[in-house]
Amino acid sequence: MHHPQIALFSQILSSYECRQDGTIQVNSGLLDDLVELIIKMPLEHENLGSRGFRRYPVRKYGCQEERQIIVVRYELEMDHTYGVIFHAESESTFRDYFAYLLLHTTSCSMMTLGTFSTPASEEAAAAVTNTFECMLLYDVYEKKEWNRSGRNIFRKKVQCYTDRRMTIEMALPAFPCKSTNPEKVASQVPDGAEYEALLTLVKFCDEVTDFYAPGCRIVIVSDGHVFSDCIGADDNVVTHYSRNLKSMLDNVRFHHSRHASQQIQLCNLADLLFPDREAERLYKRVEAVQNLPIKHPVSTQTDEFYNTCRGILMHGFAPPEPFVKDLISKVPDHSITTLYRGFSRFMLDDLALHSDIEGRSRPQRKKAAETVALEMILRNQAYSRLVEMVLPNHIRLSIHAHNNAGPKFAVKLLPFKPITNASELAISKEDALLEALEHLHIPTPWHTALMVIHHDGRQETIACKTSVAEAAIRSKKVFGMYQKNHVCGGRFVVVVPKTGRGWGTKCS
């Protein structure tokens, strides 16, 4: 029986590889000598699948009392043997599935290949790093940590690929679905904001491929079904958004990419949890599939399949809730505490018009937002662990404003200055645009709308809330409308008359 506060991810003691030449490489874990003892001890095993996946019985190991542990181990036979050892006192069909998922992804790891560092590969890694810094990196901390250590960490991660002349792999958890707050967005499907964000990523990959032939691939890991019942979005709305995003990506790629390779790939929670039929088959053997506990902090229409996916996520990867609560209450400067506060403020605004929140008193709304924020922290941590396990060598990108010391690096998807109120569109004496940055989230396309302003023969594209664009149009100082069927995605288009002061911004 699974203890609700202990995820299987925390029970992993070690993973290892047994090479064909007889050598053993322990990839993780602190018990190297004990791991080697466990691996070399001959035991009968049970075959769990058709792909050389086997489980060894639960055993106690260690000759000294303080070193004794009860473990169960699994192995997957591919080009050579991959294994994982769990701390466990009993067998579990859920752990069978979980172990296969881990070993399947490990077997696809590039780290089993040799490394061949050359001046050319070092130069390529440096060039990719510079390109990333110029085109994607988002930093509100004056690049202090990036300059101190982050740049070097990023470069070394890139060089793991350039040394092997492999496509550089990056992972970006993003593009969940449009905000449910109509004051922020103009529709529930990808629009011009998403189009520009995808174009930003495609341009970066194109730039890298121009000087490094194997190129760069960014895997967008949609977290829509991870958080849908936290942000007030129905599962079918998330699915519809994802399908439209795929079509939009095909359109962006067709019209703008200089290279034919699949530079941008989309996947979601279900893709990570069920990478092949063997994983699906093993999961069907799990006892009490429908009884994995999952909270639904906001009223939404959920899908049974994605409820199961969320249950697997939390059952396998979530940190203990009491531990996270204790951390938030006692360590005010911890990154998780900072993120929790940011989530609380952000969700108070984002859910303002949701039926669960609207009409409540300010203290009630604040408490509801904090409840949602805590669940989001738990799921964010769980999803981060899942992505780390399934995509272990991918360079981690993020839409949160990290300090960029690594291992995660913040990226800006919208190359526009964000605007939060209509008055910021007014031209000042210096003809300069007042900036308004949000420090929880880098301005993202799913929380904003796009507005194109034509003024004095100039054109400026900005990111803003729908309410800001509508307020500008209602002011009668501009003429405009929302163009839903724009070829590059829906957007507000406004024209400032030549006579009169009107609204406008300085072109960059």
Q: Mean pLDDT throughout 484-503?
A: 79
For residue 420, the model assigns a pLDDT of 58
Residue 171 amino acid letter: A
The total number of residues written for the chain in this structure: 508
Q: What does the pLDDT look like over 130-161, one tens digit per residue? A: 999 999 998 877 788 999 999 999 999 999 99
Q: Which of 4-8, 66-70, 437-441, 470-474 has the lowest mean pLDDT?
A: 437-441
Q: Mean pLDDT throughout 31-59?
A: 78
The set of residues, in sequence order, having a beta carbon less than 8 Å from that of 324 and lying 6+ positions away, is: 336, 374, 377, 378, 381
Q: Mean pLDDT throughout 355-379?
A: 89
For residue 422, the model assigns a pLDDT of 55
Better-scored residue on pLDDT, 334 or 115:
334
DSSP classification of residue 359: T
Give residue 426's pLDDT band: very low, low, confident or very high (50, 70, 90): very low
Kind and range of the H or E run holding 28: strand 24-28
Better-scored residue on pLDDT, 417 or 76:
76
| CA pair distance 185, 191, nearest whole angstrom | 9
Whether residue 173 contacts residue 398, with contact meaning beta carbons closer than 8 Å, is answered with yes
Across the chain, what does the average pLDDT equal? 83
For residue 219, the model assigns a pLDDT of 96
SS3 content of the chain, % helix, strand, coil (to 5): 45, 20, 40
Q: Mean pLDDT throughout 405-422?
A: 79
State percent of the chain over pLDDT 70: 85
Q: Mean pLDDT throughout 406-413?
A: 92
| CA pair distance 257, 281, nearest whole angstrom | 38
For residue 109, the model assigns a pLDDT of 62
Q: Which of 6-20, 135-149, 473-487 has the lowest mean pLDDT?
A: 6-20
The pair of three-digit structure tokens given for residue 311, joined into one six-digit string = 């249950």
For residue 63, the model assigns a pLDDT of 57
Q: How far apart are the first and last CA of the chain?
A: 60
Whether residue 14 contacts residue 75, with contact meaning beta carbons closer than 8 Å, is answered with no
For residue 425, the model assigns a pLDDT of 53
For residue 28, the model assigns a pLDDT of 63
The set of residues, in sequence order, having a beta carbon less than 8 Å from that of 262 and lying 6+ positions away, is: 217
| CA pair distance 272, 173, nearest whole angstrom | 12
Whether residue 452 contacts residue 459, with contact meaning beta carbons closer than 8 Å, is answered with yes
Residue that has been written with the tokens 């006192």 in this structure: 89
Phi, psi of 171 (to 5 degrees): -125, 135
Q: What does the pLDDT look like over 182-213, one tens digit per residue? A: 999 999 999 999 999 999 999 999 999 999 99
Phi, psi of 420 (to 5 degrees): -110, -15
For residue 442, the model assigns a pLDDT of 63
Better-scored residue on pLDDT, 140 or 73:
73
> Where would I find the H helices in 391-486?
466-474
Question: Cα 107 from chain centroid?
Answer: 22
Assess whether pLDDT exceeds 80 at residue 113.
no
Assess whether pLDDT exceeds 60 at residue 446.
yes
Give residue 430's pLDDT band: very low, low, confident or very high (50, 70, 90): very low
Residue that has been written with the tokens 């994982």 in this structure: 84
| CA pair distance 457, 464, nearest whole angstrom | 22
Assess whether pLDDT exceeds 70 at residue 435.
no
Maximum alpha-carbon separation in the chain: 89
Whether residue 208 contacts residue 380, with contact meaning beta carbons closer than 8 Å, is answered with no
| Burial 99-130, CB ≥16 within 10 A → b, else e | bbbbbbbbbeeeebeeeeeeeebeebbebbbe
| CA pair distance 124, 91, nearest whole angstrom | 48
| Burial 416-430, CB ≥16 within 10 A → b, else e | bbbbbebebbebeee
Better-scored residue on pLDDT, 64 or 375:
375
Question: Cα 86 from chain centroid?
Answer: 26
Assess whether pLDDT exceeds 70 at residue 46.
yes
**What does pTM read for this prediction?**
0.85
For residue 236, the model assigns a pLDDT of 96
For residue 80, the model assigns a pLDDT of 81
